[in-house]
Structure 1
Amino acid sequence: MSGALSGLRVLDFSHLLFGPFATQMLGDLGADVIKVERPVSGDLYRDLPPFFNRKVGDFENPSFLAWNRNKRSLAVDLKNPEGKKLLQDIAATADVFVQNFRPGVLDRLGFGYEELSRLNPRLIYCSGSGYGESGPYLERPGQDLLLQGLSGIMSMTGRSGVSPTPLGVAIADQLGSYHMIYGILAALYHRERTGRGQKVEVDLFRALLAHQTQEFVTTLNTGRVFERPNSGIAHPGMPAPFGVYRTKDGFLNIAMNPFARLVEALEAPELARFDDAETLFDRRDEVHAAIEAVTQTRTTAAWMERLLSFDLWCGEVLRQEEVPNDPQVKHMNAFTSYQHPVIGEVQTVNVPVTLSETPGKVERHAPMVGEHTVEILAELGFDGERIAALRNSGAVWVHPKADTAAA
């Protein structure tokens, strides 16, 4: 594959979302990502709710397809001595190693940082966890929903009077993956200057804390406790009109704006009585209701045209199925598709960054379990006889639909 990270070999021991999203991003930019999976069943996300869409004989869950393009699958039994030796040999040639097992699991299997760094001092070893690799929560399950609750972000979302509201996406896992990326790239830059690899530790807990820095700095330094509003005000720290408003045919977002100009654009002079900074915060639910009484009189499109003509910050609220047809989304080519050997065309979100000289690409379908086992071993210099021996011993596995001509 071509790209900014061409020539970079990534050994991907990660599974589910946290980790696979990070390695997919590396693959999008040209890295050779070798996804290590269990024989036959592979990554847990191939056969795990939600978004379940199993096809007979194959594990083609949309969740797996979402985070595993631009990778090759190598199916190896980690507990098989020959399989273990094979992976250690590959790790000795790798630039980056990524894993998100619970702390201590890979150490016990012989794939911890200390052991692999002895084999390959240049290795960047990225380890993802829920709560870090020490401390009182070491044995807790590090799952996205649980972290949203513990980090405080859930208490900031939704309306008062209802249960704390989790975000509708796996935000902890995805932010954790981005933290992996910036840690890995920083470590690679350091290696360019020193020749030395290092361990990168990323945890979901701190990822969520870091992305609430604005709120924590306010709370820690002023003592102010954020209370969720009872209306469509979109953030517990913001005054009106910042929020979501019902229109004649849908919803409209209105962000921070000069209130007098908004009153003029809404053609609602009666709202001018609220034009005071303290009032807009202390009575924000009342202000929201008063504005929404006005916005419900016209369609979203009509309000967008008028509010934008006043240079006000506003936007439509689209349903997910509407987003791919948005004109700006189309202009940016924000969605793309690729061909999968089992299920045909897969539509997906495109690479989200643009590099002028080395643009990212979707060049490989999300792999079948062990689809590239033979290909990878042949590249490492294994002849057909040795590959056959590894298969017969159970150390490696090859997907029945994979091209095994090299064997």
Structure 2
Amino acid sequence: MTQKALDNITVLDFSHLLQGPFATQLLADLGANVIKVERPGKGDLFRSLTFNNQWVGGSESPNFLAWNRNKRSLALDLKDPRAKEIIYKIVETADVVVQNFRPGVLDRLGFGYADLARINPRIIYCSGSGYGDSGPYVTRPGQDMLLQGLTGIAAATGRADGPPVPVGSGFADQIGAMNMVYGILSALLWRERSGEGQEIKVDLLSALLAHQGQEMLMAMNFNKDFQRPNSGIGHPGMDAPFGVYPTKDGWVTVAMSPYKTFVGILGDESLLAYDDPKTLFDQRDEIWGKLAALTKTWTTHDLIEALLAADIWCGEVKTHLRVAEDPQVQHMNAITSYEHPKAGTVKVVAPAVKFSKTPATVERPAPLVGEHTEEILREYGLDKL
């Protein structure tokens, strides 16, 4: 087996749903020994949730399968005194703990940072939450769409004559997961230098604000919110022609590109009358409509080819199913699969970061609940449950 960057790192993973499991899957892809602690019988809540009542292989949740490969499952009732003995034994030599329970839950069970740091001062303990661990929102559910609404993303997305639009994926949770990994890897590097572990706290509210840095800066420093356009302009702060345009058979995207060149390709010089920065912003909906009337006369393929030939920044709008078949996606081997004992062959997105010497790989399917309990207990010299 190829050596991996995190081969010597053990992660004790109490997390569930998306934020924590995606973070620990990223670590597992890099070789970390991730021990996923789950409820006996039921496991991670994502095992029982799915989209549109669709189950891979007839029984397995795609939501769970997506975020839990390369891990082993240890089934424990955390309220059972025997569980504390097992967890404390693993913590003696573990490197990282990840959890995204509501604030205070694991502390009350004896698995908080202070409890585990007494056993292993080198432990790195990463907690994820919706709103931090104090304040007026601390008891609120920290769910992805709720955070998108609260932090301005939904209000800035969509058309002015329609409702706010959440992003079509678990954006808040995934940004939170990336922040977890960023924090954990930084803490591991610091521990190599200092010998000291530490506690890391990641919350979705702060994560989403940080990833809207330019939008927040504009709003706060000019004391003015962005106004959503009524058209397919792609960002509330941008002018024409930035946006999404219809074709005969689909849609294309056009990013920052010379307006004059774009109009020249579409063949209506009368539109050059709009070509100044103030007009392109103030009248962007009107301009978009006139441009869209022209793009509708092209096929997607022909328009993309013409725009690329003129060095216009453009692309095709594709569905998830179509992008999986995209030639660049296939060239990059961005889609892979694993064999699952119940779901069969599961197609998944491959690890995104490429390493020349320690590549990330998919070697284990998402585990069954408690599948590795006895194996893990043997490794730590513990008796069967």
So what's the TM-score if we normalise by structure 2?
0.98
- Aligned counterparts, 1:147-166, within 5 A: 147-166=147-166
Task: Report if aligned partners of 1:34, 1:72 keep a CA contact under 8 Å in 2.
Answer: yes
Letter matched to residue 311 of structure 1: D
Letter matched to residue 45 of structure 2: L
Number of matched residues?
384
Compute the displacement of 1:266 (Å). 1.7
Cα distance in structure 2, aligned partners of 1:161 and 1:322 = 30
1:76 aligns with 2:76: yes
Counterpart in the other structure of 1:13? 14
Counterpart in the other structure of 1:265? 265
- Aligned counterparts, 1:5-404, within 5 A: 5-54=6-55, 60-382=60-382, 386-387=383-384, 390=385
**SS of equivalent to 1:345:** strand
Change (3 A) 1:59 1:247: same
Change (3 A) 1:54 1:287: closer
Task: Report if aligned partners of 1:232, 1:244 keep a CA contact under 8 Å in 2.
Answer: yes
Compute the displacement of 1:136 (Å). 1.2
Compute the displacement of 1:50 (Å). 3.0
The range that moved more, 216-225 or 341-350, is 216-225
Structure 1 residues without counterparts, runs of 5 or longer: 391-407
Cα distance in structure 2, aligned partners of 1:341 and 1:236 = 47
Counterpart in the other structure of 1:394? none
Compute the displacement of 1:220 (Å). 1.3
Cα distance in structure 1, aligned partners of 2:255 and 2:349 = 27
Cα distance in structure 2, aligned partners of 1:355 and 1:93 = 27
C-alpha RMSD of the superposition: 1.3
Letter matched to residue 212 of structure 2: Q
The range that moved more, 237-246 or 80-89, is 80-89
Compute the displacement of 1:320 (Å). 1.4
Cα distance in structure 2, aligned partners of 1:127 and 1:367 = 23
Letter matched to residue 136 of structure 1: P
Cα distance in structure 1, aligned partners of 2:92 and 2:156 = 45
Change (3 A) 1:298 1:360: same
**SS of equivalent to 2:302:** helix
Compute the displacement of 1:59 (Å). 5.6
Cα distance in structure 2, aligned partners of 1:69 and 1:9 = 15
Name the % identity.
59
Structure 2 residues without counterparts, runs of 5 or longer: none
The range that moved more, 97-106 or 220-229, is 220-229
**SS of equivalent to 1:272:** helix
Task: Report if aligned partners of 2:71, 2:366 keep a CA contact under 8 Å in 1.
Answer: yes
Compute the displacement of 1:53 (Å). 3.6
Deviations 1:271-309 (A, max 9, x none): 111101000000000000010011000101000110000
Task: Report if aligned partners of 2:124, 2:200 keep a CA contact under 8 Å in 1.
Answer: yes
Cα distance in structure 1, aligned partners of 2:51 and 2:89 = 36
Cα distance in structure 2, aligned partners of 1:113 and 1:373 = 24
**SS of equivalent to 1:325:** coil
Task: Report if aligned partners of 2:12, 2:97 keep a CA contact under 8 Å in 1.
Answer: yes
Compute the displacement of 1:51 (Å). 5.0
Compute the displacement of 1:163 (Å). 1.2
Compute the displacement of 1:52 (Å). 3.7
Runs of 4+ in 1 over 6 A off after TM superposition: none
Cα distance in structure 1, aligned partners of 2:340 and 2:50 = 21
Compute the displacement of 1:260 (Å). 1.1
Task: Report if aligned partners of 2:241, 2:288 keep a CA contact under 8 Å in 1.
Answer: yes
Compute the displacement of 1:86 (Å). 0.8
The range that moved more, 256-265 or 204-213, is 256-265
